[in-house]
Amino acid sequence: MNQENSQHFETAAVRIQAEQSPFREHSVPLYLTSSFTFEDAEQARALFADEIPGNIYTRFSNPNTTEFIDKMCALEGTEDGIATASGMAAMFTSMAALLKAGDHVLASRSLFGSTHQILTQIFPRWGIESTYADIGKPETWAALIQPNTKMIFVETPANPGLDLIDLEWLGKLARTHNLILNVDNCFATPYLQQPAKFGAHLVTHSATKFIDGQGRAIGGVILGTKELMKEIRFFSRHTGPSLSPFNAWILSKSLETLAVRMDRHCDNALKLAQYLETHSMVEKVIYPFLPSFPQYQLAKRQMRHGGPMITFIVKGGVERAAGVMNRLLMISRTSNLGDTRTIATHPASTTHSKLSEADRAAVGILPGLIRISVGLEHIDDIIGDIRQALEG
């Protein structure tokens, strides 16, 4: 991996591949097999004893998933990783594998709805507690750490409010208190930021989003230190949240274009955010690379670009927001994000609807808020569709 790690991001994303087979293929083939054969009884014994590397069973490993993981480790700057069947499988496994009854998680309040459900509805059944910290009040975090706190879990940028956390500060806080720092890097991707450089022990992704980038495949990734990944791999091996070889193949190929796609996503997003700030029907625009963004300087310091996501608040509340959503002609209405196609979502009634109204308000998910995953279409067409929806 030394040569791979010395390569530029774009080169590593394209050139890291599984070992070529005797057929001398240029593009890595699909390994659609449930199991692998052994040369002899001794090799089988050594593989199961973890004395030698190699494939046994696709629930454990497969050349396609291994290639995908190797690329992600190189791009995020981590030592090891596993791939999972979905982003939520990655979030759950990255925590459940390392926590036990009596442990405590300190989490940022701004989290995706399903992650919120894991912390507040599922983990309490097993005696695992959690406390939310306010992203806007970093001075309060240290006091929220308890004697049984084991992990800090955050998203940055957060879904859907795009709140940022200073990863350098958070890495120091985790080291000071000897805590595992787990960062969901889904919105940024490794192209925009690498949390491990700031001290994150684990980096998680819903690869369904911008890693795939075309709305085709479901997948997740957990990346981190060898020590932690050993425990996570054991948990995953025996609980089975495995990524299929076909989806791993798709996601690995998608990484080859991640950099060029993210450049276009982010360029379009900035232009759309600048336009929305000028519109009379828009109360507020939230985008990290706008000077009006409260954490603008942090965003410029921590991220390569401002990201592919925008949120804005329509004047007139939920009724006006629903009208804007209904009048969209080109832009898709779906709860997903990270596609080549621009997508609009109303989080309060969909992705974050299971949160209480008070919990939504606490993280800025107001009734009139619309989340835009900015796609790769021509920017004039994206702006034109939103303009007519706002003014209709």
CATH of the domain at 296: 3.90.1150.10
Final residue of a domain: which of 202, 224, 255? 255
Residue 224 lies in a domain: yes
CB 4 within 8 Å of CB 16: yes
How far is Cα 205 from Cα 223, in angstroms, rounded to an integer?
9
Final residue of a domain: which of 228, 255, 282? 255
CB 163 within 8 Å of CB 157: yes
Count: domains in the chain? 2
How far is Cα 222 from Cα 184, in angstroms, rounded to an integer?
9
Co-location of 194 and 123 in the same domain: yes
CATH number at residue 131: 3.40.640.10
Looking at residue 5, what is its pLDDT? 58
Give the pair of three-digit tokens for residue 8: 């530029």
How far is Cα 344 from Cα 333, in angstroms, rounded to an integer?
5
Residue 51 lies in a domain: no
Which portions of the chain are predicted below pLDDT 70?
1-5
Co-location of 198 and 272 in the same domain: no
Co-location of 271 and 351 in the same domain: yes
Co-location of 235 and 333 in the same domain: no
Residue 44 lies in a domain: no
Looking at residue 366, what is its pLDDT? 83
Co-location of 102 and 247 in the same domain: yes
Per residue in 198-234, pLDDT tens?
999 999 999 999 999 999 999 999 999 999 999 999 9
Return the beta strands (E) in the chain as ranges.
Answer: 80-84, 104-108, 129-133, 149-155, 180-184, 202-206, 220-224, 282-286, 309-314, 332-333, 343-345, 369-373
Listed as own residue / partner, the contacts of 337-340 with beta carbons closer than 8 Å and 24 or more positions apart are 337/209, 337/309, 337/371, 337/373, 338/208, 338/209, 338/210, 338/211, 338/212, 338/213, 338/215, 338/308, 338/373, 339/213, 339/214, 339/215, 339/373, 339/375, 340/213, 340/214, 340/215, 340/261, 340/375, 340/376
Co-location of 151 and 298 in the same domain: no
Co-location of 184 and 306 in the same domain: no
How far is Cα 287 from Cα 366, in angstroms, rounded to an integer?
16
Structural domain containing residue 306: 259-391
Co-location of 147 and 210 in the same domain: yes
Residue 52 lies in a domain: no
Co-location of 198 and 292 in the same domain: no
Question: Residue 162 has what DSSP assignment?
Answer: -
Alpha carbon 54 to chain centroid, angstroms: 28
Co-location of 119 and 199 in the same domain: yes
Final residue of a domain: which of 198, 221, 255? 255
Looking at residue 2, what is its pLDDT? 38
Residue 39 lies in a domain: no
Residue 157 lies in a domain: yes
Q: How far, in Å, are 13, 76, 86, 298, 361 from residue 72 at the CA level?
A: 8, 6, 15, 25, 35
Co-location of 267 and 247 in the same domain: no
Co-location of 237 and 91 in the same domain: yes
| CB half-sphere exposure, 139, CA atoms < 13 A | 0
Q: Which strands form 309-314's sheet, in the order they lie side by side? A: 282-286, 309-314, 369-373, 343-345, 332-333
Residue 367 lies in a domain: yes
Residue 46 lies in a domain: no
